[in-house]
Amino acid sequence: MTDLTSGRETLEDVSMAVFCGGFSNSDVFGSAKGWAGGFLYNDKAKTSLQNFFARKDTLSLGVCNGCQLMMELGLVFPEMGDNHPKMHHNKSGKFESTFISVTIPENNSVMLKSLKGTTLGVWAAHGEGRFVLPEAESEYGVSAKYIYDEYPGNPNGSDYNAAALCSKDGRHLVMMPHLERTIFPWQNAYYPFAYRKNDVTPWMDAFVNAKVWLRNQGQ
């Protein structure tokens, strides 16, 4: 962010942007609003971001706090304008940290579509992880779903049990669970014994898919 706001970085030679999880602008709920302000109220950072998302050869991923940022800035569904959904507090009213199961439906996401039909464990840790989606499910490119309707299987109360959404063209993905924290078998709270010999979990496919897509774009 310092590089973007100062103009040292413009993202012109960047092909994939990952807005990472964790906390930004202090360890409090709503912190992504402060991060979003860093883009909205700085002309250099705002222009760099707009130019990046205007390109057709880029990918982006927002995880947890990064998901909140992308939703706050309206980057996933720009065609919705002011009706772009945003994140809400968990229905439980508290921070949820848990290892949960999600299923990957048929989807258009560059990163997740090859995983369709799989059910995977993944870590989640958030206080504002609820997707409130007033339109039909098909409008939001739901790319991962919690396998249970009720709490705590759906830890935040998201509409359609949505754990991940992607843009209409599949290039921009946001998700609340932390796929990057569940890459290696030993990182999982539970992992089937038969698969523990594997070096990585199926979540690694998301990043392999991104690399292949970018290579096909000549990146």
Tell me, yes or no, if 20 is annotated catalytic: no
Catalytic entry in 72, 96, 128, 180: 180
Choose, from 67, 96, 128, 178, the residue flagged as catalytic.
178
3-state secondary structure the chain: CHHHHHCCCCCCCCCEEEECCCCCCCCCCCHHHHHHHHHHCCHHHHHHHHHHHHCCCCEEEEECHHHHHHHHCCCCCHHHHHHCCCEECCCCCCCEEEEEEEECCCCCCCCCHHHCCCEEEEEEEECCCEECCCCCHHHCCEEEEECCCCCCCCCCCCHHHEEEEECCCCCEEEECCEHHHCCCHHHCCCCCHHHCCCCCCCCHHHHHHHHHHHHHCCC
Asked about 67 being catalytic, the answer comes back as no
To the query of whether residue 180 is one of the catalytic residues in this protein, the response is yes
Round to whole Å and give the CA distance between 136 and 100: 25
Active-site residue (options: 12, 64, 84, 96): 64
Which amino acids are annotated catalytic?
Answer: 64, 178, 180
